[in-house]
Amino acid sequence: MPPRGRPKTTQLDRVNRAIELRERDDNCGDSLAFNPAPLTMAFLPYRQPKPDTEVWVRRNGAFRLTVRPGVRLGPNGEIGSYGYPFGVVPRALLMWVTAEALRTKSPQIMLGDSLSDFVYKVLGQRATGGRNGTTTRVKEQATRLFNASMTMHWIGNSNQQQAGVNLSIARAWAMDLGEGQVGQGSLFPSFVQLSADFFDEIIKKPVPLNLEVVRLLGSAAEIDLYAWLTYKFFRLEQPFTHKWEDIGDQFGYQFASTPRGRYKLKEAITTALRNVQLVYPEANVEITPSGLLLRPSLTSVPLKGTRALRGN
């Protein structure tokens, strides 16, 4: 039986588990996940944005990511908001859905015979009910994610040259709201039909990650840092410093642009990096007064496994 809730993982547990993963020679199949490249360049929020946040904006160089929550219609026609997707669940969901799209070469992704199956596949946890249960969180975040709209912008140096793509993640979806045991069949199979634009975008240049490593990480910020470092190290040929102000614009924190906010950002990134390097020790990254200093490093996932799954 899968574990109940998010398991408590000590630093020693993470190191031991990471060693076990590296001793295996099967970095493909079910243990391989892929992150959409645009959401590896700029990130979703880590917690619920303030109620007056009309649009979520993050940037990375010339790239801009904007996210708008979907519109919720009440039973009497009243208009509300589904809210922004945030935290671990939408990230794990996108990784798994992207991997399935690559594996099946189809925009229709089966989520499992029940939501319990899906929770176990994505998070490695047993589905639990109640206000803070895994089933409740997955349903809520999946609803937010599939109703959200995203825009990707590329802005030139003069600010007069722009290009952009508007995306909706899902064209259609259905989720079994039951909480049965893993493997228990359902008359209402869960699936998501990705929009054609999003499907085309995620299969262009997805970022390969190890899903089992992702499960060892303790927060959405750690998952983003792990994904971004993996993305950078696929291409990095010389040392590169990512400045603190750019990190603040890119990652999903909501610290103020003040000396206190910058201190809290550096403190948060330092903690996240420490935990990421426990499971990804090959990442040659150093905290400096200017930002994160990256030196060329081994990737987290061997290329041979990703090529086998992608068929190239």
Per-residue pLDDT tens listing for the chain (312 residues): 444 444 555 655 655 655 565 555 544 445 778 898 889 999 999 999 998 899 999 999 989 999 999 998 888 888 989 999 999 999 988 888 888 898 889 999 887 655 666 677 667 777 777 777 787 888 889 889 999 999 988 887 666 667 778 888 888 888 765 554 444 444 446 788 999 988 998 888 889 988 788 888 989 999 999 999 999 999 899 999 999 999 999 999 999 989 999 999 999 999 999 999 999 999 999 999 999 999 999 988 875 544 444 444
pLDDT tens digits, 12-67: 565 565 556 555 554 444 577 889 888 999 999 999 999 889 999 999 998 999 99
The answer to whether residue 136 sits within a structural domain is: yes
The answer to whether residue 67 sits within a structural domain is: yes
The answer to whether residue 5 sits within a structural domain is: no
Question: Would you say 98 and 35 are in contact if contact means Cβ atoms under 8 Å apart?
Answer: yes
The answer to whether residue 311 sits within a structural domain is: no
Secondary structure (H, E, C), the chain: CCCECCCCCCHHHHHHHHHHHHHCCCCCHHHEEEECCHHHHCCCCCCCCCCCCCCEEEEECCEEEEEECCEEECCCCCEEECCCCCCHHHHHHHHHHHHHHHHHCCCEEEEECCHHHHHHHHHCCECCCCCCCHHHHHHHHHHHHHHCEEEEEEECCCCCCEEEEEEECEEEEECCCCCCCCCCCCCCCEEEEECHHHHHHHHHCCEEEEHHHHHHCCCHHHHHHHHHHHHHHCCCCCCEEEEHHHHHHHCCCCCCCCHHHHHHHHHHHHHHHHHHHHHCCCCCEEECCCEEEECCCCCCCCHHHHHHHHCC
The answer to whether residue 294 sits within a structural domain is: yes
The answer to whether residue 139 sits within a structural domain is: yes
CA distance 165 to 202: 13
pTM: 0.84
- Quote the number of domains for the chain: 1
pLDDT tens digits, 134-160: 878 888 898 899 999 999 888 876 666
CA distance 232 to 240: 10
Rg (CA), the chain: 19
CA distance 174 to 237: 44
Question: Would you say 62 and 160 are in contact if contact means Cβ atoms under 8 Å apart?
Answer: no
The answer to whether residue 3 sits within a structural domain is: no
CA distance 18 to 21: 5
Q: What is the span of the domain harbouring residue 93?
A: 11-301
Q: Which residues pair with 73 in a beta bridge?
A: 79
The answer to whether residue 242 sits within a structural domain is: yes
